[in-house]
Amino acid sequence: MAKKILIAYFSHGGENLVDDQIVDLGDEGNTKVAAKLLQQALQGHGFNANLFEIEPLIPYDRSYEGTLARSRQEYESGAAPLINDGPNGYDAYDVIFLGYPNWWGTLPAPIVSFLRDHDLANKKIIPFVTHGGQRFLYSIETIRKEAPAADLAEGFAIAAPYMSAAKNVIEDWLKDNVDKLN
């Protein structure tokens, strides 16, 4: 039977730093854009995947400075903020693409919350990151620590200044890894 695929992601809409300038990315942050492109690309390869947005109950500030301040505090204290309930029928998923921005070199705190809130045994986790130059950096280590029972596969990284290349990055990854989804 075809594997059941979930794309679970966290993304911060609003202001972000692009080429050293603060720019408002609107309601769709880079990782959300990437998650949607991934869903479309999977469809093109004959796979249906459901999207699930991980959202902290207290949203991050739209402002870059506000988000920087809160996320830094969370990073330094190892906080895992309360997040929304998981997707319906979570147990039935075999593969979870886990998407996030690189924050402070590692996972944004809501992703840590997601990993702690959900049973990941017997699930394949395929991480994808959008980043300002540091790719996954320490985030894979953090996933391993928070979800030791998960079957962690190699995912893909999309550089934030080159979101126009995201589709190609995803297609390249799929070309080499589509067998992981069967």
Ligand X SMILES: Cc1cc2nc3c(=O)[nH]c(=O)nc-3n(C[C@H](O)[C@H](O)[C@H](O)COP(=O)(O)O)c2cc1C
Q: Which of 5, 7, 8, 16 binds ligand X (CB under 6 A)?
A: 16
CB under 8 Å to 92, separation ≥6 — which residues? 4
Binding to ligand X by CB under 6 A, coded x per residue (else -) over 159-178, reads -x------------------
Q: In angstroms, what is the minimal distance from the CB of 142 to ligand X?
A: 13
Check residue 139 for interaction with ligand X (CB under 6 A): no
Q: Which x/- pattern, by CB under 6 A, does the window 104-123 give for ligand X?
A: xx------------------
Q: Does 102 bind ligand X (CB under 6 A)?
A: yes
What would the x/- binding string for ligand X be over residues 61 to 80, using CB under 6 A?
Answer: ------xx--x---------
Residue 147 amino acid letter: A
Question: Considering the rule CB under 6 A, would residue 133 count as an interface residue with ligand X?
Answer: yes
Binding mask 29-68 for ligand X (x = CB under 6 A): xxxx----------------------------------xx
- 157 and 131 Cβ atoms separated by less than 8 Å: yes
CA distance 104 to 114: 18
Selected from 130, 139, 147, 173, the binder of ligand X by CB under 6 A is 130
Residue of 6, 8, 25, 120 that binds ligand X (CB under 6 A): 25
Phi and psi angles of residue 157, each rounded to the nearest 5 degrees, phi first: -125, 135
Task: Identify the burial level of 48 via C-beta atoms within 10 angstroms of its C-beta, where 0-12 means exposed, 13-18 middle and 19 or more buried.
Answer: exposed
Question: Measured between alpha carbons, how far is residue 56 from residues 50, 60, 67, 127, 144 in Å?
Answer: 20, 8, 13, 19, 22
Closest CA relative to residue 39, chosen from 49, 31, 53: 49
Binding residues for ligand X, per CB under 6 A? 11-12, 16, 25, 29-32, 67-68, 71, 101-105, 130-134, 160
